[in-house]
Structure 1
């Protein structure tokens, strides 16, 4: 029996361990902290509170690591240096599930919106449709639940997950856009962009890659594409484009622009990519159009929270980088009271400067609070998001928009961006009671 080591006992690690055990491997699951919840891990050897030396002396068929653990961390680097394959659970799940069909989405921004829209469209085709990946559900969990039955999967992938793939192959995939991000994890911006292109690496001639021709970085880095290229643009006519208020794919009308409720051209682009992917996976134009008409948006992504005394309030906590915050600001013409800041990811905020005339006031908080003074003419630094909320509500007048769009990750003061968004909404609701 071959042995596999799984590093990291978070949700994806435990799901991978369970799947590998089911496949007949001897599985060792290790974590630097305590593994308190061991339900479902019967028959798996758990080594917690550190990685003892004997772990490195055993022979492994391969190693599976949590995608959030950088390759330079010693416990991972020792296996890389020894020439042992190191995967993420996406790769191991893919190998275990030949009956699943994948529509895969990566990119810097918009991944969750495209993935969620694609899932809603796939559901119209079949009750067996699922979503997985960076959206919060480990693919290994979906594979375990599928029990070998066919299913269509809307799969959101971070570059961390893609870096640990070797054979993964989607039938249709896209890179939504490329902008600086994760420079605290990656060795360089170039390596970050290159890692995204692994999404089509194993595609076949009949598969599709939807190429965003409006993004110059994608046009630079998307090379040696082995499958059919579907060119997409919001500004010119091509394979996937807008014309006379409608969206067209290879001469087929997909939907009417006016039916989409999401704000901003970037969200129209997200919807176009999702619709094209759904069409490739067998969803009819009628079903695509029904989803477009009814889709309310994704939680935490320019999510409408409340309107009070003529002030509209939005939660865009998922904007964890400059590019995403710029996209949010582009959806509003003026009078935005911006709440921004968080953990420093060592990326530039210069792109936000072009929205200085849109931002009535910026209240910045957290680790990066003082960096926004060089970006906006009207800016105030505070310690916490709660202080920023109170100041914003005190300043706001009818016609203003309060927008939480941090341009930073949440890990200085919150467990994740979802917690930051929930806290924001709770603060708003408590203040408006």
Structure 2
């Protein structure tokens, strides 16, 4: 009997609550219903607001509902509660439920418990989605059957029974997923740790602590990859239980990937150096993407050949919403970097181009400082178009920079994305680059950064 079969057998008589119906829960709810498990769907939407087709489908299959203002009350009558990553683990209602012996878990936690194959997992403040995708592309190009999920792709628990022990799973994990995880992957990587999501975590300490769960529960036969250049990440090395390797743009670690002076991405295995690809052959722009390749090389060293890495480097066109080229109009190039929801991501985008940009910024406030990007915006931005909840906060940070001069950059305040795109179009001259690089979360205007990026692309393509 497989781990998955044992798991579903063990909970067949339990009452299971699902908080929210989103990407990670829709297919999972369907799976649990097909197993004959008692399902309760808890959602703050009222019955009128809830998707009618989903309501009818789930009702017909025997699901119960707890909707509206007091939607969480019903979890106290359940045995197991699945939370989405967006529902904070330390929420006081969940804390009370745990104190009463109710199991609080998540799709990814259960997947890690019962997955039959090797798992590669990435986390970090920046770069984790592109790196996760690269790892997946490397392994696929080597002939592996790859399942990609977590914070990217699709929920993996609903397909766990189709996964073979010879397959590989590649997952991206956010701090919201990791905060409650007590099992770590076979190969774990952390790109970097910089201030992020402090509006939810409250303290940098909790944010870092959540990230460390990716490696804290590994065994001696596991592998861990850490940034050699990001001190916060490097400082986690004493927690590593198995084999430790690094990646670095600036140094040559004793064990790990590095960028050689001639531009070659290499791996040093305690004195034995393997060459992979030259940075000039990497199709996607920016030194941050060189770092992403170095990370992916370190994560898959020994599993993927240099020839495979070089092939992917020349062919891989990038991930949507990450310095994604949208179109050229009247000599002006437009890029969608909606993923840039923190100052460090903005800096990576700015450094990907060798000219001054027209930037569109602003969004919902995550409680982080915009000061770290202010100097570089003054140096590398000709026009700054600001919108959203944080527009004045960003403006104040830029104008407080010692490098700011009146009108350089020119700062324009707008009401929404439509006005931002129209303003950029009106002010741009042939040869300019316009980039959506918000430095903020999207939740003041959009459900998620993907929706924001798609709206930006739609507006640009309509110009």
TM-score normalised over the length of structure 2: 0.86
Equivalent-residue separation in structure 1 for 2:210 and 2:43 (angstroms):
26
- SS of residue in 2 equivalent to 1:232: strand
Secondary structure in 2 matching 1:375? helix
Q: For structure 1, which segment, 383-392 or 214-223, has the greater mean C-alpha deviation from structure 2 after superposition?
A: 214-223
**Paired residue for 1:368, among 384, 387, 390?**
390
How is 1:193-342 mapped onto 2 (pairs within 5 angstroms)? 193-238=208-253, 239-243=256-260, 244-249=262-267, 250=269, 251-280=273-302, 282-342=303-363
Matches of 2:197 and 2:131 in 1, distance apart?
A: 20
* Counterpart in the other structure of 2:432: 400
Q: Is the 8 A contact 1:16 1:93 kept in 2?
A: no
Call closer, same or farther: CA 1:44–1:116 in 2, change over 3 Å: farther
Q: Is the 8 A contact 2:16 2:39 kept in 1?
A: yes
Distance 1:292 1:42, change over 3 A: farther
Q: What is the rounded CA distance, in whole Å, between the counterparts of 1:130 and 1:107 in structure 2?
A: 20
Q: Are residues 317 and 57 of structure 1, via their aligned partners in 2, closer, same or farther at CA, if it must alter by over 3 Å?
A: closer
CA contact (8 A) 2:17 2:75 kept: no
Say whether residues 1:347 and 2:364 are aligned partners. Answer: no
Matches within 5 A, 1:157-176: 157-167=173-183, 169-176=184-191
- Are residue 427 (structure 1) and residue 444 (structure 2) matched? no
Report how many aligned residue pairs link the two structures.
426
| Pair 1:380 & 2:412 matched | yes
Alpha-carbon shift at residue 209 of structure 1 (Å):
0.7
Counterpart in the other structure of 2:152: 135
Question: What is the distance in 2 between the residues matched to 1:271 and 1:374?
Answer: 35
Pair 187,54 (structure 1): closer, same or farther in 2 beyond 3 Å:
closer
Structure 1 match to 2:20? 8
Kindly state the Cα deviation for residue 342 of structure 1 after the two structures are TM-superposed. 0.7
Contact 1:6–1:29 (Cα < 8 Å) also in 2: yes
Distance 2:85 2:35 in 1: 21
Say what the alpha-carbon RMSD is for the aligned residues.
2.3
Counterpart CA distance in 2 for 1:411 and 1:94 is 29
Report SS of the residue matched to 1:275.
Answer: helix
**Structure 2 equivalent of residue 100 of structure 1:** 117
Provide closer, same or farther for how the CA distance between residues 320 and 159 of structure 1 changes in structure 2, counting only shifts above 3 A: same
| Alpha carbons 1:132, 1:142 under 8 Å: kept | no
**Against the structure 1 CA distance between its residues 41 and 174, is the aligned structure 2 distance closer, same or farther, given a 3 Å change threshold?**
farther
Call closer, same or farther: CA 1:57–1:420 in 2, change over 3 Å: closer
Separation in structure 2 between the aligned mates of residue 220 and residue 127 of structure 1, nearest angstrom: 33
Instruction: Look up the SS of the partner of 2:367 in the other structure.
Output: coil
2:405 equivalent to 1:390 = no
Q: Report the alpha carbon displacement of residue 54 of structure 1 after superposing the two structures with TM.
A: 7.0
Cα 1:54–1:381 shift into 2, 3 Å = closer
Name the CA distance, whole Å, in 2 between partners of 1:83 and 1:13. 23
Structure 2: which 5+ runs fail to align? 1-12, 399-403, 405-409
TM-score (norm 1): 0.91
1:390 CA displacement: 1.4
Q: Give the whole-Å Cα distance in 2 for the aligned partners of 1:127 and 1:219.
A: 31
Distance 1:14 1:75 in 2: 23
Shift in Å, 1:45? 3.0
Q: Which runs of 5+ in 1 are unaligned?
A: none
Residue 70 of structure 1 and its aligned partner are, at CA, apart by 1.4
Tell me, yes or no, if the aligned pair for 2:276 and 2:310 is still in contact at 8 Å.
Answer: yes
Deviation at 1:40, TM superposition (A): 6.9
Alpha-carbon contact 1:279-1:285 (below 8 Å) kept? no
C-alpha distance in 2, partners of 1:115/1:139?
15
Deviation digits for residues 255-284 of structure 1 (CA, Å, limit 9, x no counterpart): 22221012221110101111232334x222
Contact 2:41 2:65 in 1 (8 A): yes
1:55 matched to which residue of 2? 74
